[in-house]
Amino acid sequence: MPRFLLVFRHADGDRSELHDKTDGQARVNGTPLEDGIVFEFKGMQWVATREDIDNDLVRFVCTPV
């Protein structure tokens, strides 16, 4: 199953989460992730930067808004 990695940048360090893609697309709370999109997750707003790792894994580096 295709997956995507979320890397959350915090002042006290990074946190990573591996998720399965839904319908072949990376989604968080139903919102499709794209490069530069602002989304809400766990009570905070984040901006996502896409980084393609290989054919089966995409990483989104997420920084607080």
Check residue 4 and give its pLDDT: 94
Per-residue pLDDT tens for 43-62?
Answer: 999 999 999 888 778 999 99
HEC-encoded secondary structure of the chain: CCEEEEEEEECCEEEEEEEECECCECEECCEECCCCCEEEECCEEEEEEEEEEECCEEEEEEEEC
Say if CB 56 and CB 64 are below 8 A apart.
Answer: no
Check residue 16 and give its pLDDT: 96
> What percent of the chain has pLDDT above 90?
69
